[in-house]
């Protein structure tokens, strides 16, 4: 519950404060959001599995965001940024779908 409050607080803060993102980082924000989404759903599933761990969650969150951004940055430097973004999103998307399926099984027992 308190986690949801934190999430909502963050969204509201982001919308209200409108922190300016440096122009160089702007292309990596969407992919970072997708990576963070993967970490969040992973944590949620772990919570339902009863094996949630704060440290693992925070580390996976930070490393996910960082690695996704770095991969896309590398791809941009190599001229395959678009393709690498697609690859990252496909892998993360599969993971998100699988985790959400597990969460659904926990919630609805179906």
Partner 1 sequence: MSSLSSGRGPDAPHPPSDQEGRYVSLLTQVMSQPLDRDYQVVAQRRARGAAGSVVEGASIPADDEVKQRSLSITTIAALAVFGVMVGVSALQTERDAPVVRAERSELIEQIRERQSAFAALQGDLNDLTDDVTELQAEVAGDVQGLGTVTRRLDDLGVAAGTVSAVGPGITITVDDAAPASPGSGGVILASDLRLLVNGLWEAGAEAIAIDGHRLTSLTAIRFAGEAITVDYRSLTTPYVVTVIGDVDTLAARFNETDAGQAWIALEVNFGIGFAVTSSDELEVPGDPQERLRHARPREAE
Is 99 in contact with 44 (CB distance < 8 Å)?
yes
Question: Hey, which residues between 26 and 55 contact partner 1 (CB under 8 A)?
Answer: 26, 29-30, 32-33, 36-37, 39-40, 42-43, 45-46, 49-55
78 binds partner 1 (CB under 8 A): no
Cβ atoms within 10 Å, residue 63: 12
User: How many residues belong to the site for partner 1 (CB under 8 A)?
Assistant: 53
What 8-state DSSP symbol labels residue 24? Answer: T
The CB-of-74 to partner 1 minimum distance in angstroms stands at 19
Q: Phi and psi of 21, rounded to 5°?
A: -85, 135
82 binds partner 1 (CB under 8 A): no
């Amino acid at each position: 519950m308190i986690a949801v409050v934190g999430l909502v607080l963050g969204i509201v803060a982001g919308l209200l404060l409108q922190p300016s993102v440096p122009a160089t980082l702007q292309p990596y924000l969407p992919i970072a959001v997708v990576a963070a989404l993967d970490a969040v759903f992973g944590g949620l599933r772990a919570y339902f599995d009863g094996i949630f761990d704060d440290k693992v969650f925070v580390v996976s969150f930070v490393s996910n965001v960082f690695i996704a951004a770095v991969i896309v940055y590398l791809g941009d430097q190599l001229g395959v940024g678009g393709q690498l973004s697609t690859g990252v999103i496909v892998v993360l998307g599969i993971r998100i779908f699988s985790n959400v399926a597990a969460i659904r099984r926990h919630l609805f027992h179906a």
